[in-house]
Chains A and B, each alone.
Chain A
Amino acid sequence: MSRLQGPNSLKRKRPGSTSDSLTEHERTVHDVIQGKQDMGISQRDMKREINLPDNLVTKCLKSLLAKNLIKEVKNIQSRGRKHFISVEFEPSNEITGGAWYVEGSLDTEYINVLKEQCWRKIYGLKVATLEGVTDAIKRSNVSQIELSKQQVEEIVKALVLDNEVMEVKSSGTGEFASIPVGKVCYKCIGKRGYGGEPKFGAMASIPCGVCPQISHCTPDGIISPKTCVYYKKWLDF
């Protein structure tokens, strides 16, 4: 509920909670930020919530930052805007984006390294349970930070979406002999290596299949198979 408090409740002073050296306006601004707890508030939203002139709010924020009572954080939702949070809180995952974000940006490089490592572990194990992959990753020290089972699961699920790995249920026989029946496990997709493109279908292999103008193309229109530039390029022998 802390995110949804109305302006009236926020204007209440909290005796002893802030330094006495704060001006009345600074205290108001600080209370608003503190009231938002780990969610913090953007400068724009604050101007909307507090009935103070813009330049005054900016001045108060500067002074609070200098006094080390608030800190500026990156909000992944709107990276351009200034977002403030009281010093006693750590920004929530909604603000930082969670473990996969660094400075408000998705850490794609790190994610890609982990993806490939997880794929290699699954490939090595032939059929792997989530616990199996987590253990293998832990043992190999590929990540400096220890990854939780949930984080490994997120990575493996992304591999499933990439069509690099498939999710199957153990049948308890053959290659699943060591895994209890019905347990979800992961296998690498058949015949191609990591990062290989899946086989393109018939439609995706011709210009019309990937044409951004297909909805404007008609047999006798301005865009037509007779005048098509993509066809011209395709059939340039």
Chain B
Amino acid sequence: MVTQYGIKYAVNLITTHFGDLVAKVCECLLRKGPLNLQAIVRFTELTSSQVKNSLLVLIQHNCVQAFVLEQPGDHGDGAKLNTQYITLFNNIIHRWRFPKFLTIVSQKLDKQCVELLEALLLHGRLTLKQMSDRAKSGQNEGDDAILDAVREAFIKLRNAHFIERCPASEPVLTKPTEEEASARKRGPKSAKILEEKETLEQRVLEAAAPPEALRFLIVTQTECAADGGKDESNSSGMAPGEKRKRDALESETECGTTDDQVVLWRANFEEFIRRLRHKACIENVRAHLDDGAIIVLGAMLEATRGAEKKVKTENSVPLSLNSIYEEVIKSEEGRNITFDRVRASLVQLSCPPFVKAVNESYSIDFKKIIELAQNEEVESIVLKRYGRDAYRMFRLLLNSGRLLETDKIADTTFVEKKDTPKILYKLWKDDYLHMEYQLVMNFGIVLVIQEKGGKKAVYYKLQLTGVRQSQFLLWKVNKNTLQEHVLDEMFHAALNLSLRVAHELEQEKELLNIPQDKRVNRLRKVRLLLESSHMKLDDAIMLFHDF
């Protein structure tokens, strides 16, 4: 779901990290969807080399993926190949989350691993050789010791799936399916286009992803070193990813062999988002249940994480009571928990159903936990923005999931009948509710006897019988549109926070009449508040966008 403010938020981030030129190319791709080089040049009115370089930066940082769309030739002269570029919106937004990713690694692994991941996040993509070179340049120790340390950290990160091999540079995609082709014809404003883009993005990502067997595979060190050297001699200070992509862009034949042998690595965002999702689940359940239940839930997450195929998994794989207990006692805080207590915690967890129990095996209901957290987030916005009466009404409509009439809402929520429509109207005006208008007229069935040409016809007719009409207003929460609306507002708010930080920094330079220590102190507090609010808001964005 890429909303209008989602795009603005992403463009703001790219501007801050890579400047206006790159941001212009990125915005063009975000707004127009996948394009080839010529089209980007035409739309952005930049020079071809400016666009090329911007694309290389975006590819290096995993924000854009190139792909080749195979299109049938016009006159039956075989397929034409056309390289296109697609933005990976999620990967752009993930850039805000780098501190969170680093925190995860610092909690699970050692300092070396954190440093290595930091380097990967900073450079986007690196070969093992470059990771070693980078470490060597910053340290005075013996080369071998550094190489060993880097390699060890690298293996640890790889084993935890925190890093992965980079996807293929230009996967070939066969022509779009008929459904997609028809969606494209419907014009740019059609909502289908958005869906099409998503499916296309998914197809590109799938085509580019290395096979699961290769994704975390490490090639031998000698191979790597040899290839790395070759690369270095050619690139003269250019990052290898850039070099590789540039080569790929300019000439397909020149260094085909290098492409095969240099293995680039990057941070595995999927694994980080999965961990953050699990963390969010624990935090949300913690608000409802005691520590024992949290330990059990944590153990279940730990035991089933490896089996998750995608981030948005709805249910974990089922676990037996024994295997849950086995996992619980692995942790320090779980060691003093008895078998019976685990059983009791599972009963607690199944009401409300955070964990589903079927035939003595238990599975985490991620969908329910996330849905509950999303509801709580929106409800608290409604409470703070529109007050307690509106909060009750909103919760009624959210939980009932169907159209309810104004008076019924007033009765159930104990709100004055004359105030109810006003509150509902406010919520509707701000896109939190859906409204329908119903006019009820009095109809009756009338017996009609007609005689035409000596033939009698008897029939019943529906006819307006009374003069009174009743008007009803019906209300409901439309979850899909609500989610999109809330997410857009969140992107907007996040953009505002980041713009305000920039504004504060800019202003600080101008306020020279205030004593410096006072200024610095204020700026520190302001930044702390804005940035911590931004990170918390990002958690909420993930709740609606990534989980």
Q: Secondary structure at chain A's binding surface: helix, strand, loop or mixed?
A: loop
Distance of B94 from chain A, by nearest CB (Å): 18
Distance of A137 from chain B, by nearest CB (Å): 17
Indicate if the CB atoms of A198 and B376 lie closer than 8 Å: yes
**Which A155-213 residues have a C-beta within 8 angstroms of B?**
157-158, 161-163, 166, 168-169, 171, 173-174, 189-191, 197-206, 208-210, 212
Indicate if the CB atoms of A108 and B492 lie closer than 8 Å: no
Binds A, one of B80-88, B101-109, B197-205, B497-505: B497-505
- Bound complex: CA of A168 vs CA of B415, how far in Å? 25
Indicate if the CB atoms of A190 and B288 lie closer than 8 Å: yes
- Bound complex: CA of A114 vs CA of B467, how far in Å? 43
Indicate if the CB atoms of A100 and B526 lie closer than 8 Å: no
Indicate if the CB atoms of A4 and B492 lie closer than 8 Å: no
- Bound complex: CA of A217 vs CA of B45, how far in Å? 29
User: What are the residues of chain A within 8 A of B533 when measuring CB–CB?
Assistant: 202, 205-206
Q: Secondary structure at chain B's binding surface: helix, strand, loop or mixed?
A: helix
- Bound complex: CA of A217 vs CA of B388, how far in Å? 26
Indicate if the CB atoms of A235 and B396 lie closer than 8 Å: no
Give which listed residue, B384, B442, B489, B500, contacts A225 with CB less than 8 A. B500
Indicate if the CB atoms of B8 and A198 lie closer than 8 Å: no
Indicate if the CB atoms of A106 and B350 lie closer than 8 Å: no
User: What are the residues of chain A within 8 A of B461 when measuring CB–CB?
Assistant: none
Give which listed residue, A4, A79, A208, A215, contacts B496 with CB less than 8 A. A208
User: What are the residues of chain B within 8 A of A231 when measuring CB–CB?
Assistant: 496, 500
Binds A, one of B232-240, B296-304, B534-542: B534-542
Give which listed residue, B379, B412, B536, B539, contacts A163 with CB less than 8 A. B379
Distance of A6 from chain B, by nearest CB (Å): 7
Distance of A74 from chain B, by nearest CB (Å): 12
Distance of A155 from chain B, by nearest CB (Å): 8
Q: Known interface pairs A4-B442, A219-B8. Does A214 touch B380 (Cβ–Cβ under 8 Å)?
A: no
How many chain A residues touch B (CB < 8 A): the figure is: 53
Indicate if the CB atoms of B414 and A108 lie closer than 8 Å: yes
Q: B379-393, CB under 8 A of A: which get 1 and which 0?
A: 111011100100110
Q: Give the residue name and chain of the B residue nearest to A192 (CB).
A: B287
Indicate if the CB atoms of A237 and B522 lie closer than 8 Å: yes
Q: A71-104, CB under 8 A of B: which get 1 and which 0?
A: 0000011010000000000000000011010000
- Bound complex: CA of A191 vs CA of B539, how far in Å? 23
Asked if B79 CB lies within 8 Å of chain A CBs, one says: no
Indicate if the CB atoms of A198 and B379 lie closer than 8 Å: yes
Indicate if the CB atoms of B442 and A203 lie closer than 8 Å: no
Interface residues of A (CB under 8 A from B): 4, 6, 76-77, 79, 97-98, 100, 105-106, 108, 111, 154, 157-158, 161-163, 166, 168-169, 171, 173-174, 189-191, 197-206, 208-210, 212, 214-215, 217, 219, 224-226, 228, 231, 234-235, 237
